Structure 1
Amino acid sequence: MSDPRPVRVLQSVLLGGAQPSYADHVAGRLDPTRVQPLSFSYRTALTGRWDVLHVHWPENLVRHRSRTRRVLRTVLFALLLVRIRVLRPVVVRTVHNTTPHEGGRPVETALLGALDRAVTWHVRLTDETPVRAGAAAVTIPHGHYRAELGDAGTPADPRCLLFFGYLRPYKGLDVLLTAFAGTTDPQLRLVVAGEPASAEMRALVTDAAGADPRVTPHLGFVADDALAALVGGSAVVVLPYREIHNSGVVFAALSLGRPVLVPENPVTAALRAEVGEEWVRGFTHPLTATDLTDALAAAAGRDPAATPDLAGRDWSTVAESYTGVFTSRPVAA
């Protein structure tokens, strides 16, 4: 007889934060009679009862600004690896990025490598994501945010560019600000919205706004309704990331019917083929003023009533695919 209780899935992140994460969107659509998602704590990880460990951004389980807390987390992570080795649970890793956005210490690299070797299933958000040779992998596309963000509700300003999200160095905001400063149209606008990761990132934006009145900062947490208004008021959302693989920002923009300007690579090319080429415009680094003005010109020629094809990317479909992963093990070759 099959076990009637739901599979207990320990997430590697906290659930239920003020700003819902990818894991929250998946957890919120899971059938509770089949899967019970658990918010992460090391107490639960090391002493609690769970059947599956679902890992997102594993470096965050080790990192902390405090050296003392970082050392403690390193020890606890090592103990979690021991528990995994002894109990051999299902370990699912969603591969959001091929490598951490910021480099880590050698001990962190070693621990993350050990965890990766214990993974039962690698979940890729795109077929272009590489995984460890011989590892079992399944592709589950990133969900869209149409239900969460609703309708843009604001006519696009054809001269407005938008950058939004958590402001971190790898996202290339400095490059965007330099490229925008090179544009000559006094009617162009660049809106930068999001919480800076550091005082340096905050100063980067405020200094640019002080030097160029066309730059408008909205620094801090941006709620969904405010984000929808900002995206709706823009003509193009720019992601000048030094490297891009998967990004919720892309799907937030597309969900609200706004095209994105992104670095050209196999992942963004595949997304363009899926949703329509008018929605995903690529550039080759370094980003230039011409890239920005050309993207605005292309957006101006778009049918304002058109929407990108995001079929199969609703979170209920994503959650159902995860349920299949949580409740199975790969068949040995």
Structure 2
Amino acid sequence: MKVLFFWEPGGISLDRSNPYAALLGRALLSRGIEFEAGFRSHLSPEFLEANRNTVDVLHFNWPSGLYADPDPRTAVAGGMALLSGINHARSLGMRVVWTMHNLYPHDSALYELDRLVRLGITSSADSVIVHCEHAREQLRRHFFRAQGVFTIPHGNFIDAYPNTLTRAEARSRLGIDRRTFVYLFFGTVRANKGVEKLVEAFRQLPGDDCLLLLAARIASEYGDAVAQRAREADPRILVHRSSFYRNEEFQLFYNAADIAVLPFTDILTSGSAITALSLGCPVLVPAIGCLPELVTPQIALTYDPSQPQALLQALEAARRHDLASCRSLAIARMRDLDWGDIARRTLQVYRSPQPSFQLRAD
């Protein structure tokens, strides 16, 4: 069986992109599956016709990456080409699978197009994979798909990121006192990440024995502005900026932290939470999306973001929590999310009978 896995524009890599695809691919390869990166050119009629007897599955993940463009007309044309390619592939007997990592792109500028493309994919795909039961319900409510849907959890990132630095070494490199309580935000600064709300809440905490460490990946003018304001907002906020963090750098920040704070305003599946927990760092997260199904009270604190002052109260509660015992439990929880089992279940999806269904809006 040969699978074309449509991931990020740069392809599939363990160290240059989100490691999800590389880890899943490695596990599928061990089961005898040909697993290759898919690109926009692979949806052309010429490629599909030429490979009708060699490619078995087209597996999509981030559809917008195959049509997004600053020019709306080009984006629309790309979206229509994507749907046309999917339907052409199905007519040739190829199976189409979509893993719905998020409901919509986080920085969508063309909501109507994104919705149209997702409706087209859900109506055409043989199977849709979701990472939690909440996502299954969102798929049904927003895109009217209830059959041919498979819940497979997001795998761990333990093997993706080196984890050899001690807490003392990490803090020494960052110039952080061993007695300081460290809250960490690590990741791309986008509007849905809630960094501005985190800074606002942190500034209300009393005392000089706590620190907010922002390891900010800057990929936009918005992110640049938020990071700069955070640096100026409070002397207890330590900002590290980069356009790209190497895999070996992650441990520096997570091992220096007492807890990683991920105050999403909107999220479905969180690779950031998986990353933190895979490095043994407890997390503080809102009880939204798939997060309540991912974490337990032994490895995380959660809060209701609809309640006033909930984030501030959660930050205060973190200092009273036994976070030291959470670290080993976090890694144990992540080991449960084994890529071998995930690959086995994904292979079952590839081989599952084609469903007979109609999309229904309740």
Q: Normalising to structure 1: TM-score of the pair?
A: 0.87
Residue 294 of structure 2 corresponds to 271
Q: CA deviation at 1:195?
A: 1.9
* Structure 2 segments unaligned to the other structure (5+ residues): 169-177, 358-362
What whole-Å deviation, never above 9, does each CA across 1:274-325 have from its counterpart, x for those lacking one? xx41212111225533321211321456366554423431223222222222
Q: Distance in 1 between matches of 2:61 and 2:289?
A: 22
Do the aligned partners of residues 35 and 184 (structure 1) sit closer, same or farther apart at CA in structure 2, a change above 3 Å counting? same
Q: Output the amino acid matched with 2:181.
A: R
Q: CA deviation at 1:102?
A: 3.6
**Residue 58 (structure 2) pairs with residue 53 (structure 1):** yes
Task: Indicate which of 57, 75, 79 corresponds to 1:74.
Answer: 79
Task: Indicate which of 248, 263, 279 corresponds to 1:225.
Answer: 248
Do the aligned partners of residues 298 and 209 (structure 1) sit closer, same or farther apart at CA in structure 2, a change above 3 Å counting? same
Do the aligned partners of residues 305 and 235 (structure 1) sit closer, same or farther apart at CA in structure 2, a change above 3 Å counting? same
Structure 2 SS opposite 1:43: helix
Residue 257 of structure 2 corresponds to 234
Report if the CA contact (8 A) 2:165-2:252 is conserved: yes
Do the aligned partners of residues 245 and 108 (structure 1) sit closer, same or farther apart at CA in structure 2, a change above 3 Å counting? closer
Do the aligned partners of residues 304 and 39 (structure 1) sit closer, same or farther apart at CA in structure 2, a change above 3 Å counting? closer
Report if the CA contact (8 A) 1:236-1:296 is conserved: no
Aligned residue pair count: 325
Q: CA deviation at 1:68?
A: 6.2
Do the aligned partners of residues 74 and 301 (structure 1) sit closer, same or farther apart at CA in structure 2, a change above 3 Å counting? closer
**Residue 295 (structure 2) pairs with residue 290 (structure 1):** no
Report if the CA contact (8 A) 2:299-2:329 is conserved: no
Q: Distance in 1 between matches of 2:290 and 2:41?
A: 37
Q: Output the amino acid matched with 2:39.
A: S
Do the aligned partners of residues 74 and 313 (structure 1) sit closer, same or farther apart at CA in structure 2, a change above 3 Å counting? same
Q: Output the amino acid matched with 2:214.
A: V
Give matches, 1:154-193, under 5 Å. Answer: 154-155=166-167, 159-193=181-215
Report if the CA contact (8 A) 2:3-2:57 is conserved: yes
Do the aligned partners of residues 118 and 183 (structure 1) sit closer, same or farther apart at CA in structure 2, a change above 3 Å counting? same
User: How well do the aligned residues superpose, as a CA RMSD in angstroms?
Assistant: 2.6
**Residue 124 (structure 2) pairs with residue 118 (structure 1):** yes
Residue 322 of structure 1 corresponds to 346
What whole-Å deviation, never above 9, does each CA across 1:249-288 have from its counterpart, x for those lacking one? 111111122111111147333323xxx4121211122553
Report if the CA contact (8 A) 1:261-1:282 is conserved: yes
What whole-Å deviation, never above 9, does each CA across 1:27-55 have from its counterpart, x for those lacking one? 12222673222222222122322221111
Residue 3 of structure 1 corresponds to none
Report if the CA contact (8 A) 2:216-2:240 is conserved: yes
Report if the CA contact (8 A) 1:172-1:241 is conserved: yes
Q: Distance in 1 between matches of 2:353 and 2:319?
A: 47
**Residue 334 (structure 2) pairs with residue 310 (structure 1):** yes
Q: Distance in 2 between matches of 1:43 and 1:115?
A: 18
Report if the CA contact (8 A) 2:181-2:209 is conserved: yes
Residue 38 of structure 2 corresponds to 40
**Residue 329 (structure 2) pairs with residue 281 (structure 1):** no
Residue 105 of structure 2 corresponds to 100
Q: CA deviation at 1:233?
A: 0.7
Structure 2 SS opposite 1:163: strand
Which stretch of structure 1 is more off in the superposition, 193-202 or 228-237?
A: 193-202
Q: CA deviation at 1:166?
A: 1.8
Structure 1 SS opposite 2:344: helix
Q: CA deviation at 1:222?
A: 1.3
**Residue 67 (structure 2) pairs with residue 62 (structure 1):** yes
Report if the CA contact (8 A) 2:216-2:227 is conserved: no
Structure 2 SS opposite 1:135: coil
Q: Distance in 2 between matches of 1:199 and 1:65?
A: 15
Which stretch of structure 1 is more off in the superposition, 208-217 or 130-139?
A: 130-139
Which stretch of structure 1 is more off in the superposition, 242-251 or 230-239?
A: 242-251
**Residue 147 (structure 2) pairs with residue 141 (structure 1):** no
Structure 2 SS opposite 1:29: helix
Do the aligned partners of residues 111 and 300 (structure 1) sit closer, same or farther apart at CA in structure 2, a change above 3 Å counting? closer
* Structure 1 segments unaligned to the other structure (5+ residues): 1-5
Residue 175 of structure 2 corresponds to none
Q: Normalising to structure 2: TM-score of the pair?
A: 0.81
